[in-house]
Structure 1
Amino acid sequence: MDTIVTRKSRKNKYLIIALTAFLLAGYFVYAAVTKKRSLDVKRGEVVIKTVENNFFEDFIVFQAKVEPLNSMLLNVIEGGSIQEIFVENGDFVTKGQPLARLYNPNTELSYVTQETSIIEQINNLSKAKLDLRNQELNMAKDLVAIEHDYLDAKTLYDLNQKLYKEEILSKNEWEKTQENFRFQKERKNIIQQSIQKEKQANQIQIAQISQSQGIMYKSLDILRTNKKNFLVTAPLAGRLTSFEPVLGKNYQAGESIGKIDVMKGYKLMADVDEFYLERISEGQSGQIDYKGQIIKVEVAKVIPEVKNGRFIVELNFTDTKELDLRQGLSFGVRLMLSEKTKTTVLSKGSFYEDTAGKWIFVVNRDKAERRNIKIGRENPLYYEIVEGLKPDEKVITSSYKDYEKIEVLNINNN
C-alpha cells in the first residue's frame, strides 16, 4: 500500500529565509550604529595626567618693565626750530639747566611788537598820572592865592570896621569893604570845596591808573618770561631719557622732546591682556623673582583704556629691601586674583584647545573613553574641575587634534 507524503509549502520556506535575513541585517545595522568609534594609539603618543584634590591659586603671570617712580615730560612751550642742543640723551641734569634752544623769528617779532606796545601804554598812563598830579599842584597854587586875597580882605575889613565905628570912614567905603570881604570869603569856600572834590576824583583816577600800570607790568613780565621759553630747561633734577631733538627740526608748541626720570625709587609697568581687565584692581598683591628672592609688589593703578587688546597696569614695590634695579629690566609678575582654595584640579594641557574644556578622555587600564566635563577657573598651571572628574582619575591631556570624532582610544603599551 502506497504512503502519502505531505510536501511542505515553498511559500513558508521562503518566508523563513526572508525573516532570518531581515533579523541578521537589523542586528548588523544596530551593531554598526551603537558601536563606539575607536582608535588604537601608542602610550608614548599621549600624555596622561592624574586628577588631584589640591590647593588652587587664582593668579596670572605677565611681564612688567622697571621704570622710575616719577617722571616728567619735556614739552616745547614755544614752537620753533632747534637752534642749539646743550646735552645728550642719558645725561644727568640739574633743575634749571639749559637743554636746548629754539628759534622762531615770527614769534620773536610778535614779542617785540607786543613789548613796545605795552611799554607805550605804560608811558601814556604815567603821563596821565603826572597830568593829574600837576592839576592838583595848580589847584593848590590857586588856593594859596585865593587864601591870600581872603586874608587881605579880612584885614581890611577889621581895620575899616574900627574906622567906621570911630566915624573916620564913610558909610559908602565901609559897605564896599563888607561886600569885598563877603565875596572873598564865599570864593574861598567854593574853591576849597571844588579843590577837595577834584582831589578825591584825581585820587580815584590815579589809583585806577596805578592798577592798570600794575597789570601792564605783569603782562610785560609774562611776555619777557615767555621770550625765555625758547630756551628749554630742566624742570627738575634727574636723568634725561627719550631726548632726541634734531638741529633745524621744527617742533610745535606742546610737543614732547624728551623726559626726565627722577632717580628716587622705581615702579613696574605692564601691558596685560584685556581678558583680565575686570579681574585686576588696585591693592591686589603679587610677587616677582629677583636674583632668587621673592619680592612683593602691589597694583597701584589700573589704566582701563584698551589699545590693541591690552591695557596698562602700574605696580609698586612693597618690600623695604634695597634693590639694585635698572630702568628697562623685565620681570615676570605673579599676581594673585583670589585666596587659595582646595578643590579638584587638573594640570594644563593641549586638549583644551581642541575641546574648549567641554570633554576629555578618561583612562581606564588600556582604554580611554570620552566624557563630558565642566571647567571653572584656571591659572597658568591648573584648571579647576567643576563637574565630570574625580580625584585620582587619569586623563589624557595632550592634543586631541586627531581624536575629535573618536569616542574610545585603545592604548597600546608596545
Structure 2
Amino acid sequence: MIRDTSGQDVPLARPQGRRRLWLALAGVGLLVAAFAAAPAVQRMMGSGNSVSLQRLSIAAVEIGPLVRDIAGEGKVVAAMSPTVYALHGGNLLLKVKAGDKVAKDQVLGVIDSPDLRARLAQEQSNADALRTEALRAEVDGREQRAALRSSYENAAIDLQTARNDLERQTKAYEAGAVAGMQVEKARDALEKARITAAHAKDGLGLKDDSLKFELQAKQQALQRQQLLVKDLQRQVAELELRSPVDGQVGQLLVAERANVNAGTGLLTVVDLSALEVQMQVPESFARDLAIGMPGEIAGNGRQWKGLVSSVSPEVVNNEVAARLRFDGATPDQLRQNQRLSVRVLLDRREKVLTLARGSFVEDGGGRFAYVVQDGQAVKRPIRLGAQSLSRVEVLEGLRPGEQVVVSGAQAFAGAERVTLSP
C-alpha cells in the first residue's frame, strides 16, 4: 500500500496577538467607510431613482426687473384698403390698371346701365309734366279768383246802389212825393243786395282756400317726382366708380367689360400714406393686449415707435391678429406685406423675485418646482405671478439664490426627491 503524506504535514502554531491586531484594523476600516457613505446611503434611501444633471436645465432665483413683452414678426399692411363695389348692375368699363396711382374722387371706371338711364329720362319727363300742371293750376286759380272778386265787387256796388235808393225813397216819402210802398220796395232791394254781397264775399274766401289746396297738391306731387328724379340722378352718378382715398390701385377683382351685378367687388385701392404692422399673438397673451400699448417696430436697419391700434376679437389657430400704427409720421420706402420685427411692451415691474421661464411653468401649471439641495432635486410648492417670454415672477415658495430645475423635470415622474448624478 502507498502511504500518504500525513506524516510529513506538521501544523504550525500562529501567534494569537497578531491576528487580533488585524481584526481590529479591519473593524476600524469598516466603521470609517460606513460614516463616509452615510449621506449617499441616505440619498439613495430617500429617492427611488437618479437623473443625470446633463439632462436638466437649472437656473437661479434672482431679484430684478421683470419686463413682460411680446416679440415676433409682423407684416406691413395698409390701414385703409377699401374695396370699390358695384352699386348697380351693368357692363364694367375700367379706366385704370393694377398699380396705377390715383387721387381721391378720381374716376376708376364706369358701369354702363341703359335701363337706369332710360328710367331717369322717363321720370324727368314726368317731373316736367307735373311742373306744367302746377303752373297751369296756378294760372287757373288766379283767373277764378279774379272772376269771383269781380262778382263780389259788383255785389258791393249793387248794395251801395240799393242803399242810396232807399235813402232817396225815404226822403221822397217824407216830402210826400211817393207812396210808402216805394220805400218798402227799396228796403227789400237793399236787403237782397246785402245778402248777395255777403254770399259773394264768402264764395270768394272759400274759392281762395280751394284753389290754394289744389295748387298745394300739385306742387307736392311735383316735389315727390323731383325727389324721385334726384334719387335716380344719384344712382346714375354712382355708375361712375370713384376712388375713396388717395393711393394706388391694388387688385382688380373682375375682368374688363364684364357684366357685374349690384354688390360685386370690383377692385381695391391701397392708401400707402397710412401703413400699419400686423402681427400674430398667441392666445395666452391676447388677453393682456390693449389698444394704446407702446411697442417697437424694427426693419431696414432702423427702429420706430408704435402703438397698438386694434386687436382682433377672433381667435384663429390659437392666435389673435393685432395691429400697430407708427407713433408719428409713416416711414418712407415701406411696402405692403414687407416683414418687420415687432415688440409690444405689456408691463414692467422693478425689484421682483424672478426665475427663468421653463417647462415647469406648463408641466405642473406653475404650482410646484424642483429645488436643488445637497445633490438632490426636492419638490416644493410655489406660486407664480406675472410671466414674460423669458422669465416668470415668483410670489411664494422660493428664495433668492436658490437653484431650480426649470427644464427636464419630466424625468422625475413626480417624485418628491430625486438624486442628481454628474
Give the structure-2-normalised TM-score: 0.70
Cα distance, 1:378 vs structure 2: 1.8
* Equivalent AA in structure 2 for residue 267 of structure 1: E
* Counterpart in the other structure of 1:23: none
Alignment of 1:387-402 (within 5 A): 387-400=396-409, 402=411
1:50 to 60, 64, 67: 60
Partner in structure 2 of residue 61 of structure 1: 71
Give, in angstroms, the shift of residue 137 of structure 1.
0.4
User: What fraction of aligned residue pairs are identical, expressed as a percent?
Assistant: 19
1:160–1:169 contact (8 Å) kept in structure 2: no
Pick from 263, 283, 293: which aligns with 2:292? Answer: 283
Q: Deviations over 1:162-181 (max 9, x none)?
A: 79959999999998888767
Contact 2:137 2:215 in 1 (8 A): no
**Aligned counterpart in structure 1 of residue 140 of structure 2, from 108, 128, 134:** 134
State the distance in 1 between where 2:209 and 2:292 align.
66
2:35 maps to which residue?
A: none
- Within a 5 Å distance, the mapping from 1:16-35 to structure 2 comes to 34-35=45-46
Q: Is the 8 A contact 2:92 2:260 kept in 1?
A: no
1:224 aligns with 2:246: no
Shift of 1:217: 0.5
Deviation at 1:77, TM superposition (A): 1.9
Q: Counterparts in 2 of 1:252-271, with a 5 A limit?
A: 252-271=261-280
The 8 Å contact of residues 81 and 102 in structure 1, kept in 2 or not, is answered as yes
- Cα separation, 2, equivalents of 1:350 and 1:162: 130
Contact 1:361–1:368 (8 Å) recurs in 2: no
Change (3 A) 1:132 1:170: farther
AA of the residue aligned to 1:39: S
Does residue 408 (structure 1) correspond to residue 414 (structure 2)? The answer is no
2:218 to 185, 195, 209: 209
Q: CA deviation at 1:84?
A: 1.6
- For the structure 1 residues 143 and 295, does the alpha-carbon distance in structure 2 shift closer, same or farther, using more than 3 Å as the test? closer
Q: Where do 1:374-393 residues align within 5 Å?
A: 374=382, 375-393=384-402
For the 8 Å contact 2:148–2:203, the answer to whether it is kept is no
Counterparts in 2 of 1:87-106, with a 5 A limit? 87-103=96-112
Instruction: Please list, as runs of the form range in 1=range in 2, the aligned pairs for 1:308-347 lying within 5 A after superposition.
Output: 308-319=317-328, 324-347=333-356
Query: Quick one: structure 1 residues 273 and 75, their matched pair in 2 at CA, closer, same or farther if it must change by over 3 Å?
Result: farther
Name structure 2 gaps, 5 residues minimum: 1-41
Q: CA deviation at 1:396?
A: 4.1
CA–CA separation in structure 2 for the residues paired with 1:176 and 1:168? 15
CA distance in 2 between partners of 1:192 and 1:69 (Å): 73
The answer to whether 1:76 aligns with 2:86 is yes
How far off is 1:213 after superposition? 1.6
Report if aligned partners of 2:59, 2:405 keep a CA contact under 8 Å in 1.
yes
CA pair 240-167 structure 1, distance change in 2 beyond 3 A: farther
TM-score by length of 1: 0.71
**Which blocks of at least 5 consecutive residues in structure 1 are unaligned?**
1-30
C-alpha RMSD over aligned residues: 4.3
CA distance in 1, matches of 2:43, 2:404: 27
Q: In 2 relative to 1, CA 153–393 (structure 1 residues): closer, same or farther, beyond 3 Å? A: closer
Higher mean alpha-carbon deviation, 224-233 vs 391-400, is at: 391-400
In the alignment, the residues of structure 2 paired with residue 40 and residue 174 of structure 1 have an alpha-carbon distance, to the nearest angstrom, of 147
How far, CA to CA, are the matches of 2:53 and 2:282 in structure 1?
38
Contact 2:353 2:400 in 1 (8 A): yes
Task: Work out the CA distance in 2 between the residues paired with 1:205 and 1:214.
Answer: 14
Which whole-Å deviations, capped at 9, do the CAs of 1:10-57 have from their partners, x for residues lacking one?
xxxxxxxxxxxxxxxxxxxxx9995523335373x5444333222111
Write the distance in 1 (CA, Å) between the matches of 2:325 and 2:236. 40
